[in-house]
């Protein structure tokens, strides 16, 4: 369990680790709800799976299954969680790409339950865990043309930096805890 990451629990949600054993089931549950966006260029970190929703909502379970198994097989450097409400219904995916004392985080939430604060709630829980237990500097990547992602970043205490990884993608960091 230590390699898969902890179960993260908030007042309304629970994030359970995605493993090689449950990746297929999670993909079947979430593929239509959380569609994969087109993959950004390599090296963007938690892009790909977490680059944002595809407006067409046409993700096939096989594509999500491959992505989740890839992340689960990468070990503790790429922890991934399925986010469930307290009724057990899946509402999204949460992930982090970690290297040394840095972690890039991202969340994608089912379009049917957006604007309820689920994304912010889970990012806060994950960032707090990373800062406390892994002593990591937590960052995220935000597309310049994505006001919803910018609002989420600001709501979860991220601040924009001057670092632009790929045209249109800016790194945002959380100030280190005191």
* 39-88 pLDDT, tens digit each: 444 454 554 444 433 334 446 788 888 889 999 998 889 999 999 999 99
pLDDT at 33: 82
What's the predicted TM-score (pTM) here? 0.86
Kindly tell me the sign of the dihedral angle through the C-alpha atoms of 58, 61, 62, 66.
positive
φ, ψ of residue 90 to 5 degrees: the values are -70, 135
User: Which residues contact residue 128 at a Cβ distance below 8 angstroms, ignoring those fewer than 6 apart?
Assistant: none
The domains found in the chain, sorted by start residue, are: 2-140 (3.40.630.30)
């Amino acid at each position: 369990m230590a390699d898969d990451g902890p179960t993260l629990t908030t007042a309304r949600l629970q994030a359970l680790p995605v493993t090689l054993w449950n990746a297929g089931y999670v993909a079947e549950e979430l593929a239509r709800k959380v569609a994969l966006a087109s993959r950004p260029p390599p090296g963007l970190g938690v892009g790909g799976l977490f680059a944002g929703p595809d407006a067409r909502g046409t993700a096939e379970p096989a594509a999500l299954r491959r992505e989740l198994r890839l992340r689960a097989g990468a070990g503790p450097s790429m922890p991934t969680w399925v986010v469930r409400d307290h009724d057990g219904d899946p509402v999204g995916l949460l992930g982090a790409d970690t290297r040394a004392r840095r972690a890039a985080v991202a969340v994608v939430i089912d379009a049917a339950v957006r604007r309820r604060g689920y994304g912010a709630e889970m990012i806060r829980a994950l960032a707090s865990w990373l800062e406390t237990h892994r002593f990591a500097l937590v960052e995220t990547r935000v597309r310049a043309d994505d006001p919803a992602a910018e609002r989420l970043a600001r709501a979860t205490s991220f601040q924009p930096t001057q670092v632009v990884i790929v045209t249109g993608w800016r790194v945002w960091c959380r100030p280190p805890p005191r």
